[in-house]
C-alpha cells in the first residue's frame, strides 16, 4: 500500500523509483551469464534447463530487448521477440538477400516451410499435415471461414465478445450465402465452466453448421472451456472454429485433446515471434459435418490429389521465410523452458495481479477477468472508476500511467449484456514470462497512486 503524508493525503510516488525497480528486476540473477550463450549461437537447447526459482525467471526476462525505462504489459496486442531470435531473424534476411534463389538451403523442401512445421506441430498437439504457418489470427479466421461453403438458412453460433478479425469473415458469409449469425451473450462474471457449456448446448439447432468462439476473449481475458464446448459440438456433429489469438505461447495447447476442427492463432503475441506470423490448425479426418471447403488462399489451384489441404493453404507464392524461421526459433525457446511451466507462471502472475488489485483498490472494484483457475488467463481487465462508461477518463489514466510511471497497458471495451446501450470500458493488463511479482506489485501501486490523484483533483 502506498505511503501517506502527514496531512493524510497520498504521497506522490516518484516515477524514478518505479523505473529503477523495474530495471533491477529485469537484470537480476544470472542473466549476464546466459546472454552470451544465446548470442553466440542461434540455438539454445539446455541453456535454461539447469535453472529454477526466481533466478530462472529473472534470467528469462533478460532474453528480451524491452526498454528498461518502461514496463511493457500489453502482450495482448503484440509481444516482444527474444534477443537471440531477433539476431537470427537478421541473419535469415541477409541470407535471402545474399542468395535469393537457394536461400542457403535453409528452408527445406517444398513448400519451403515443411521442416519448420514438422518441428512446431507436435508442440501444439497436431500432426504436421494439420498445421499451416499463417500471417496472424485474422488471416487464419478469414482463410477458414472464407473457404467454407454455406447455404441460405445455415446458422453460425458465436458470442458477443468476438474480435473483428472473426466477426468480419462471418459477416461476409452472412451476406454471401444468407447465413444467420447468432451471438450468444456469454457471462462476464461466471462462476463455473458449466455456464458456457450449457449456453452453447441450449442454443444448438438443426440449422447450426459452425460454432465459432474465442479461446480467450480479448475484451475481458476470460478463458472459455474450449474442450468442453467442442465435446458438445462433436456430439451433435457440428464443426468448431476457435479464435486462439491469445493462447499460443501462453497456454500449453493440445489441439487433438481440445477436439476442435479449426484453430487460428497468432505467433507475434504471447509466442513472441516476429510480426506477420501465426498458425492454422485443420483437423484431419473430422467426424463432424464440415461444410465443403475451398482453399481460397492458395497458389495451387486446381489442387493435385497429392497436396493435402494444409499444403495447399501453406503455399501462397513467395512467403516471408525468415519470419517463419524466426517463429520456429521462438517456439524452440518455449519448448526448452517448458510450455507447461510457462503457463503455470503466467497464470500465477495474473492471479497475483487480480489479488493485489482487490487488496489495494478494495473488494468493490470491478474486475472483469475471472480469478477461477479453469477460466483465467494472462489478461486482467478492470476499471477503478465509478463510471465504467467514461472512456475519456480511462484513456487519460492509461496515458498518464505510461508517461508518469512507465507502465504500458491498454484499454478495452465490451458490452456486458448484448443489448446494452453503452459500452463498458476497462484497463487491460498482460502479464507474461518476462515479468515478475515485484513488477506486478509496482504496477498496482502506481495505478492506485494515479487513481487517487485523478479523483482528488
Is the same domain home to 140 and 281?
Answer: yes
List the one residue out of 361, 377, 369 whose CA is nearest residue 427. 369
pLDDT at 301 (0 to 100): 76
First-to-last alpha carbon distance for the chain, in angstroms, is 20
Distance of CA 288 to the CA centre of its chain: 27
Segment (H or E) for 156: strand 155-159
Q: How confident is the model at residue 55 (pLDDT cuts 50, 70, 90)?
A: confident
- Sequence-distant (≥ 6) Cβ neighbours of residue 315 within 8 angstroms: 110, 111, 298, 299, 300, 307
In a domain, 2, yes or no: no
For the stretch 426-456, pLDDT in tens is 999 999 999 999 999 999 999 999 999 999 9
Domain-ending residue, one of 334, 350, 380: 334
For the stretch 277-290, pLDDT in tens is 999 999 998 999 99
Is the same domain home to 52 and 77?
Answer: yes
Give the chain's domain count: 2
CATH of the domain at 376: 3.90.1150.10
Domain that holds residue 389: 15-84+340-456
In a domain, 9, yes or no: no
Domain-ending residue, one of 270, 301, 334: 334
Is the same domain home to 71 and 134?
Answer: no
- Least confident span in 221-230, 243-252, 309-318: 309-318
Q: How far apart are CA 173 and CA 343, in angstroms?
A: 35
For the entire predicted model, the pTM comes to 0.89
In a domain, 380, yes or no: yes
CATH of the domain at 177: 3.40.640.10
- Least confident span in 38-52, 121-135, 197-211, 263-277: 38-52
Domain-ending residue, one of 304, 334, 364: 334
For the stretch 301-349, pLDDT in tens is 777 777 888 888 888 888 899 999 999 999 999 999 999 999 999 999 9
In a domain, 10, yes or no: no
pLDDT at 50 (0 to 100): 43
In a domain, 95, yes or no: yes
In three-state secondary structure terms, 295 is coil
- DSSP-based helix, strand, coil % in the chain, nearest 5: 45, 15, 40
Is the same domain home to 145 and 283?
Answer: yes
Amino acid at each position: 500500500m502506498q505511503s501517506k503524508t502527514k496531512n493524510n493525503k497520498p504521497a506522490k510516488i516518484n516515477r524514478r523509483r518505479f523505473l529503477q525497480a523495474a530495471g533491477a528486476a529485469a537484470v537480476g540473477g544470472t542473466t549476464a551469464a546466459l546472454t552470451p550463450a544465446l548470442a553466440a549461437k542461434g540455438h539454445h537447447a539446455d541453456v535454461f534447463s539447469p535453472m529454477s526459482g526466481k533466478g530462472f525467471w529473472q534470467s528469462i526476462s533478460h532474453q528480451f530487448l524491452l526498454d528498461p525505462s518502461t514496463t511493457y504489459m500489453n502482450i495482448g496486442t503484440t509481444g516482444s521477440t527474444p534477443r537471440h531470435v531477433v539476431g537470427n531473424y537478421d541473419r535469415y534476411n541477409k541470407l535471402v538477400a545474399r542468395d535469393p534463389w537457394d536461400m542457403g538451403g535453409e528452408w527445406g523442401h517444398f513448400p519451403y516451410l515443411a521442416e519448420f512445421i514438422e518441428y512446431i506441430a507436435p508442440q501444439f498437439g497436431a500432426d504436421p499435415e494439420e498445421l499451416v504457418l499463417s500471417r496472424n489470427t485474422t488471416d487464419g479466421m478469414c482463410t477458414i471461414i472464407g473457404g467454407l461453403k454455406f447455404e441460405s438458412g445455415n446458422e453460425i453460433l458465436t458470442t458477443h465478445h468476438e474480435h473483428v478479425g472473426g466477426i468480419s469473415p462471418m459477416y461476409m458469409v452472412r451476406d454471401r450465402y444468407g447465413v444467420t449469425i447468432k451471438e450468444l451473450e456469454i457471462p462476464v462474471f461466471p462462476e463455473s465452466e458449466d455456464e458456457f457449456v450449457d449456453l452453447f448446448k441450449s442454443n444448438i439447432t438443426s440449422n447450426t453448421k459452425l460454432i465459432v468462439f474465442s479461446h480467450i476473449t480479448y475484451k475481458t481475458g476470460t478463458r472459455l472451456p474450449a474442450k468442453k464446448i467442442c465435446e458438445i459440438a462433436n456430439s451433435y456433429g457440428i464443426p468448431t472454429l476457435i479464435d486462439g489469438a491469445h493462447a499460443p505461447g501462453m497456454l500449453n495447447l493440445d489441439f487433438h485433446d481440445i477436439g476442435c476442427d479449426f484453430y487460428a492463432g497468432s505467433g507475434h503475441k504471447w509466442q513472441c515471434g516476429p510480426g506477420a506470423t501465426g498458425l492454422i490448425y485443420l483437423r484431419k479426418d473430422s467426424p463432424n459435418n464440415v461444410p465443403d471447403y475451398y482453399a481460397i488462399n492458395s497458389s495451387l489451384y486446381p489442387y493435385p490429389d497429392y497436396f493435402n489441404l494444409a499444403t495447399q493453404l501453406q503455399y501462397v507464392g513467395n512467403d516471408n521465410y525468415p519470419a517463419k524461421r524466426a517463429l520456429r526459433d521462438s517456439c524452440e525457446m518455449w519448448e526448452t523452458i517448458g510450455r507447461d511451466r510457462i503457463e503455470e507462471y503466467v497464470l500465477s502472475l495474473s492471479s497475483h495481479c487480480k489479488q493485489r488489485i482487490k487488496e489495494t483498490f478494495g473488494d468493490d472494484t470491478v474486475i472483469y477477468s475471472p480469478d477461477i483457475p479453469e477460466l483465467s488467463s494472462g489478461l486482467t481487465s478492470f476499471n477503478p472508476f465509478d463510471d465504467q462508461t467514461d472512456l475519456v477518463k480511462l484513456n487519460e489514466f492509461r496515458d498518464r500511467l505510461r508517461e508518469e510511471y512507465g507502465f504500458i497497458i491498454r484499454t478495452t471495451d465490451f458490452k456486458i449484456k448484448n443489448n446494452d446501450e453503452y459500452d463498458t470500458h476497462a484497463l487491460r493488463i498482460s502479464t507474461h514470462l518476462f515479468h515478475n511479482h515485484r513488477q506486478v506489485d509496482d504496477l498496482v501501486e502506481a495505478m492506485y497512486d494515479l487513481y487517487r490523484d485523478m479523483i482528488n483533483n
